[in-house]
Amino acid sequence: MKHERRRLFIGLPLSRQLRKRLVREAAAWPETATLPTQEENLHVTLLFLGFVAEDQIPDISQSIEAAVEGVEAFELRFTAIQAVDDEESPKMAWLTGEASEKLKTLRENVEKAFDAFITEKKAYRPHVTIAKFKRAKWAALPERPVIGKEVNFVEPIDSIVLYESTVLDGKRRYEPIDTFPLG
């Protein structure tokens, strides 16, 4: 019997207000060289789980529920929009922030719950992928806009979400499967 596999990750949803602001930021970059993230897909990834058997989802949800127990809602501060790789030949643009103590605790809890899914330990810095760039088209622009800038966005985080990454009509979509409120 073939088990259905789904591409899953755990993330922090963003407010509609911040998502709209990030869409406006991406709209300022040349359309021909930019692949903006769709508004409904903007999020902060906590942990990528990869392809998971359908029948594992209830256990995953249970583990997430246990991981968020006792974790209070918190604010996430974003401090910059920056080019990833370099400003001359960017691969993508990120909204970046600092991991607060509450976010570190939440991430550690999630990592402990899903240790089997973690292939490498990397320093964690919360970020949102605002857009990807078509490098050749970006390089060919007669005038390249500056991507990097300092910002001061404070985002309330009161839940985490188990998302499924799917492709619908050729477009990547991140569909919430389950939402877990923070204390």
- Residue-wise pLDDT for 51-101, tens only, equals 999 999 999 999 999 999 999 999 999 999 999 988 888 999 999 998 899
The letter for the amino acid at 79 is: T
Question: Which CATH class for the 5-181 domain?
Answer: alpha beta
- Which residues, 6+ apart, have CB-to-CB distance to 129 below 8 Å? 37, 42, 92, 93, 94
Per-residue pLDDT for 118 more than 90?
no
- Residue-wise pLDDT for 131-147, tens only, equals 999 999 999 999 988 89
Per-residue pLDDT for 1 more than 60?
no
The CA distance from 8 to 52, in Å, is 7
- pTM: predicted TM-score of the whole model, two decimal places: 0.92
Query: Residue ranges per domain, the chain?
Result: 5-181
DSSP string, 26-50: HHTS-GGGEEEPPGGG-EEEEEEEE
- Residue-wise pLDDT for 28-56, tens only, equals 999 999 999 999 999 999 999 999 999 99
- Residue-wise pLDDT for 150-179, tens only, equals 999 999 999 999 999 999 888 999 999 999
